């Protein structure tokens, strides 16, 4: 079910089993599946290591996700050049995943936990919290800082 696969952006999937005809969203593995959890230093662009969360529209300010929660989000992922590499918004289908358990890149696992229900934010993710030195060719070059515009639409059964 290729349509179902599009829901799984940034999920850990064995790269060898992925066909290039599948939408980009289902081809983006987590750092753990690439084996490139890096530590120390700053990103190639000089960005602080980790994830910076900038709220662009406040949420409810009281309902925050916890590790293990099932989240529903919209996102658009871009490189610092402005080149878009994936978007649930463009597909018209929110992305569902479990937070804090390694299903997504470390920048998401840490950054999204700081958002409240309904919040829109920008996540700036250094390479070591994204896809590291290996990148995800040809979509994401090695040592790329990533920018995600995200919206937290739901936490478990709660909707924004």
Specify whether 155 is catalytic: no
DSSP 98-123: ETTTTSS-HHHHHHGGGPPTT-EEEE
Q: What is the spatial distance between Cα 130 and Cα 132, in angstroms, rounded to a whole number?
A: 6
Specify whether 85 is catalytic: yes
How far is Cα of residue 40 from the mean position of the Cα atoms in its chain? Answer: 21
Active-site position among 8, 97, 131, 136: 131
DSSP 21-50: TS-GGGG---HHHHT----SS--TT-PPSS
Residues in a beta bridge with 75:
150
Specify whether 69 is catalytic: no
Specify whether 131 is catalytic: yes
Q: Do 99 and 45 contact (CB within 8 A), yes or no? A: no
Active-site position among 105, 125, 140, 155: 105
Active-site position among 7, 8, 75, 95: 75
Specify whether 148 is catalytic: yes
Q: What is the spatial distance between Cα 64 and Cα 11, in angstroms, rounded to a whole number?
A: 22
Active-site position among 31, 99, 148, 155: 148
Active-site position among 86, 109, 128, 149: 86
Specify whether 136 is catalytic: no
Residues designated as active site: 75, 85-86, 105, 131, 148
């Amino acid at each position: 079910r290729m349509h179902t696969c599009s829901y799984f952006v940034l999920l850990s999937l064995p790269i060898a089993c992925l066909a290039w005809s599948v939408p980009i969203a289902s081809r983006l593995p987590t750092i753990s599946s690439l084996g490139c959890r890096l530590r120390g230093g700053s990103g190639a662009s000089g960005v602080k290591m980790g994830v910076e969360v900038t709220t662009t529209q406040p949420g409810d300010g009281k309902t925050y996700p916890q590790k293990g929660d099932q989240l529903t989000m919209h996102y658009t992922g871009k490189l610092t050049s402005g080149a878009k590499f994936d978007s649930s918004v463009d597909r018209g289908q929110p992305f569902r995943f479990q937070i804090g358990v390694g299903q997504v890149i470390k920048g998401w696992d840490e950054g999204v936990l700081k958002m409240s229900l309904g919040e829109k934010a920008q996540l700036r993710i250094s390479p070591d919290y994204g896809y590291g030195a290996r990148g995800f060719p040809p979509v994401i070059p090695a040592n790329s800082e990533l920018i995600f515009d995200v919206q937290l639409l739901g936490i478990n059964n709660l909707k924004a």
